[in-house]
């Protein structure tokens, strides 16, 4: 089965690495506009072949879009003439706008998915073996996908050992805003606030594990995350309002020296670890 992967960064590269464990089942063709990424993907053995031809990719049995969310929508418009049995899987981090903008004539070809995994790094050199193993793969609006396409996508997800979860695109986007998107905004804010107050020498000397953990994802690609914030704007704003409300509560308790209330507030937050 020919698998065309468009986008050879962390997600696409790690996917190619996972699928190449099945050489008798999958033949991986990579496509990326970045020439450096093309060379690196081949050198790192993330794909079997690189093709600059979009027509080559369109002729694959499965096309996987591991590119920014706006690019997924744009690319979908150029797939209207794919074969009726072709399966297109997108890995976008927001789903409602992507789902709504897939051309109706190929909607059944699409399986809109979001792997709940990743790191702050990007490019083929960031690819990680077993990135998807035991991680949740959210499949949205499954009833809009063809039965053949659903079966092929789920078989592929099983091969990379992901845990498939089904939900609606709108439901996914609201959950993702609170659990993934808003924390990225917080991380960017932490990084910017510290850099505006501290010189680089002090940051290097004093930054401990807590600061590094909280600011790690501020290294994530602005190109990718700008697109996500644009597409999931309303849900992200709601999540930011909730976060700002909690920060205001904390600030008020500190201002009032209400240490007992602050302690109870922290205990409430500790309950998250009972879930995780």
Using CA of residue 123, residue 126, residue 129, residue 135, what is the dihedral sign? Answer: negative
Domain boundaries, the chain: 2-167, 172-275
Identical fold for domains 2-167 and 172-275, yes or no, is no
The answer as to CATH 3.40.50.300 being correct for domain 172-275 is no
Please report where in the chains the tokens 């072949």 appear, as a residue.
49
The residues with which 49 forms a beta bridge, in sequence order, are: 29
Residue 110 contacts residue 139 (beta carbons within 8 Å)? no
Using CA of residue 43, residue 46, residue 49, residue 50, what is the dihedral sign? Answer: negative
Query: What per-residue confidence (pLDDT) applies to 204?
Result: 64
Question: Which residues neighbour 218 within 8 Å (Cβ) at sequence distance 6 or greater?
Answer: 120, 184, 187, 188, 190, 191
Residue 116 contacts residue 180 (beta carbons within 8 Å)? yes
**Helices and strands (H and E) in the chain: how many:** 14, 8
CATH number of the structural domain 2-167: 3.40.50.720
pLDDT in tens, the chain (276 residues): 999 999 999 999 999 999 999 999 999 999 999 999 999 999 999 999 999 999 999 999 999 999 988 999 999 999 999 999 999 999 998 999 999 999 999 999 999 999 998 887 888 999 999 999 999 999 999 999 999 999 999 999 999 999 999 999 999 999 999 989 999 999 999 888 888 876 776 776 666 777 777 778 888 888 888 989 998 999 999 999 999 999 999 999 999 999 999 999 999 999 988 876
Question: Which residues neighbour 78 within 8 Å (Cβ) at sequence distance 6 or greater?
Answer: 54
């Amino acid at each position: 089965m020919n698998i065309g992967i468009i986008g050879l960064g962390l997600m696409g590269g790690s996917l190619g690495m996972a699928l190449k464990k099945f050489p008798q089942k999958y033949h991986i063709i990579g496509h990326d506009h970045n020439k450096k990424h093309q060379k690196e993907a081949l050198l790192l053995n993330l794909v079997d072949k690189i093709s600059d031809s979009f027509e080559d990719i369109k002729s694959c049995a499965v096309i996987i879009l591991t590119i920014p969310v706006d690019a997924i929508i744009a690319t979908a418009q150029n797939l209207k003439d794919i074969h009726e049995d072709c399966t297109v899987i997108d890995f976008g981090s927001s789903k409602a706008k992507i789902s709504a903008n897939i051309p109706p004539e190929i909607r059944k070809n699409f399986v809109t998915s979001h792997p709940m995994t990743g790191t702050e790094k990007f490019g083929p050199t960031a690819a990680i073996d077993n990135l998807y193993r035991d991680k949740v793969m959210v499949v949205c609006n499954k009833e809009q996908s063809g039965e053949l396409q659903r079966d092929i996508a789920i078989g592929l997800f099983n091969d990379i050992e992901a845990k498939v979860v089904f939900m609606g695109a709108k439901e996914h986007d609201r959950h993702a805003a609170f659990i993934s998107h808003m924390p990225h905004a917080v991380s960017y804010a932490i990084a910017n606030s510290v850099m505006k107050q501290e010189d680089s020498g002090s940051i290097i000397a004093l930054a401990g594990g807590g600061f590094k953990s909280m600011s790690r994802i501020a290294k994530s690609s602005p190109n990718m995350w700008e697109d996500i914030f644009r597409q999931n704007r309303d849900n992200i704003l709601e999540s930011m309002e909730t976060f700002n409300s909690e920060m205001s509560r904390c600030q008020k308790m500190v201002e009032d020296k209400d240490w007992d209330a602050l302690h109870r507030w922290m205990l409430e937050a500790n309950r998250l670890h009972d879930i995780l």
